[in-house]
């Protein structure tokens, strides 16, 4: 039985699209630009709220042009694709400005969350559509190698009809300073990865149940720290996640037990995986094991050298560039992402209001 799964992204034929980079923090410096260089992409300019940081990142990654402001970057007529890595409360405003430069900016790769509400996210989508600018959203967990391989298993039908999928995260994020001012913490910053992954695998759920509580370690005020949620589908399948950002008092001196594991069970087989991200910056590939009635009693264990951070960030930019080449919407389009943002709103409301919610009510 052929166990070679389709886990790598399709790359564009043309790799020299001229990319302008907005932001010079960790995600841009250590993920986007590392991935782009290994893929042979072409970042030509960068700007940041901190010009000194932008200059340092430009020097480290051999970017020829540093702009003093975001406005100068947007006005750079050589920039064809805008790569955005700014906080979510700033991002919609940057997109609003970018669409005025559609004489040269053809595509935008935005960060997730696209916005903190569906209303503002839809405004970004509509503005880009009206301006003829292709908008993609950097839902990078879709390009984790195990997540993508799992999607291929589903596409091939080797597990039969999906019955139950779970993600169990026991990991301690490093919350960026900008997250303190957001109305939601874990839901829109961390759980969004898993919610979008469930959407990628199974589509948008029909109902949402959720519970949350603050994380004891996080010092600033927040409501949604530890997130527990169940996604219901009318066809019977269920998906659930424990997004545990406390993960025990390991930072306070206890032993740790840090991991992200997932499992998908179907009528004809099942798969399990582990995400390598909690050990970053160590290069730890995510894993996938699966068993199927096609080959009874056997666990198939494909492996690969690539890792989520930073290699998956090749895929998100590649998907936008392929869409520009082919004249189609990217699979991670802004319009598709409205349902991920709405799912985040549904989880947040279900936990806050202690009720069953639907994605549809937040898309209305």
Domain assignments of the chain as residue spans, ordered by start:
18-140+314-331, 142-309+341-363
What is the per-residue pLDDT for 3?
Answer: 60
pTM for the whole thing? Answer: 0.97
What is the per-residue pLDDT for 349?
Answer: 98
Return the H-helix or E-strand segment holding 262. strand 259-266
What is the per-residue pLDDT for 363?
Answer: 96
The two structure tokens encoding residue 108: 């935008």
Nearest to 277 by CA among 313, 242, 230: 313
- Phi, psi for residue 216 in degrees, rounded to 5: -60, -25
What is the per-residue pLDDT for 1?
Answer: 44
Query: According to the CATH classification, is domain 142-309+341-363 in 1.10.8.100?
Result: no
Q: Is the peptide bond before 320 cis (omega within 30 degrees of 0)?
A: no
What is the per-residue pLDDT for 170?
Answer: 98
- Are 51 and 66 spatial neighbours (Cβ–Cβ below 8 Å)? yes
Coil, helix or strand at residue 53: helix
Nearest to 23 by CA among 60, 57, 64: 57
What is the per-residue pLDDT for 224?
Answer: 97
What is the per-residue pLDDT for 2?
Answer: 47
Distance CA 159, CA 146 (A): 15
What is the per-residue pLDDT for 364?
Answer: 81
Q: Provide the 8-state DSSP code for 11.
A: P
Intervals of the chain under pLDDT 70 = 1-3
- Are 78 and 104 spatial neighbours (Cβ–Cβ below 8 Å)? yes
The two structure tokens encoding residue 207: 């109902």
Cβ neighbours around 138 below 10 Å, total = 27
- In CATH terms, the superfamily for domain 18-140+314-331 is NAD(P)-binding Rossmann-like Domain (3.40.50.720)
Distance CA 283, CA 280 (A): 6
């Amino acid at each position: 039985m052929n166990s070679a799964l389709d886990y790598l992204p399709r790359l564009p034929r043309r790799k020299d699209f001229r990319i302008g980079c907005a932001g010079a923090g960790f995600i841009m410096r250590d993920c986007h630009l590392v991935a782009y260089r290994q893929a042979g992409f072409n970042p030509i300019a960068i700007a940041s709220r901190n010009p000194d940081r932008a200059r340092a990142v430009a020097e480290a990654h051999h970017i020829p042009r540093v702009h003093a402001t975001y406005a100068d970057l947007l006005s750079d007529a050589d920039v064809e694709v805008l790569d955005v890595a700014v906080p979510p409360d700033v991002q919609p405003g940057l997109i609003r400005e970018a669409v005025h430069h559609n004489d040269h900016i053809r595509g935008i790769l935005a960060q997730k969350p696209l916005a903190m509400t569906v209303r503002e996210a839809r405004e970004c989508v509509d503005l880009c559509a009206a301006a003829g600018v292709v908008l993609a959203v950097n839902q990078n967990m879709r390009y984790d190698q195990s997540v993508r391989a799992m999607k291929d298993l589903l596409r091939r039908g080797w597990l039969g009809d999906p019955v139950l999928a779970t993600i169990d995260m026991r990991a301690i994020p490093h919350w960026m300073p900008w997250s303190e001012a957001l109305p939601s913490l874990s839901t829109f910053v961390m759980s969004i990865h898993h919610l979008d992954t469930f959407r990628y695998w199974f589509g948008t759920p029909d109902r949402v149940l959720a519970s949350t509580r603050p994380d004891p370690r996080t010092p600033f005020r927040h409501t949604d720290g530890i997130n527990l949620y169940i996604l219901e589908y009318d066809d019977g399948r269920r998906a659930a996640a424990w997004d545990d950002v406390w993960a025990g008092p390991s930072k306070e001196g206890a032993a740790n037990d840090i991991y992200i594991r997932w499992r998908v069970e179907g009528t004809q087989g099942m798969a399990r995986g582990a995400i390598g991200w909690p050990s970053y910056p160590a290069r730890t590939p995510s894993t996938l094991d699966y068993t199927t009635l096609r080959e009874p009693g056997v666990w198939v264990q494909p492996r690969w050298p690539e890792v989520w951070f930073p290699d998956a960030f090749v895929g998100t930019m590649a998907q936008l560039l392929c869409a520009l080449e082919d004249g189609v919407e990217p699979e991670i389009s802004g319009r598709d992402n409205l349902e991920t943002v709405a799912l985040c709103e549904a989880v947040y409301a279900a936990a806050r209001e202690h009720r069953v919610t639907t994605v549809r009510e937040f898309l209305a």
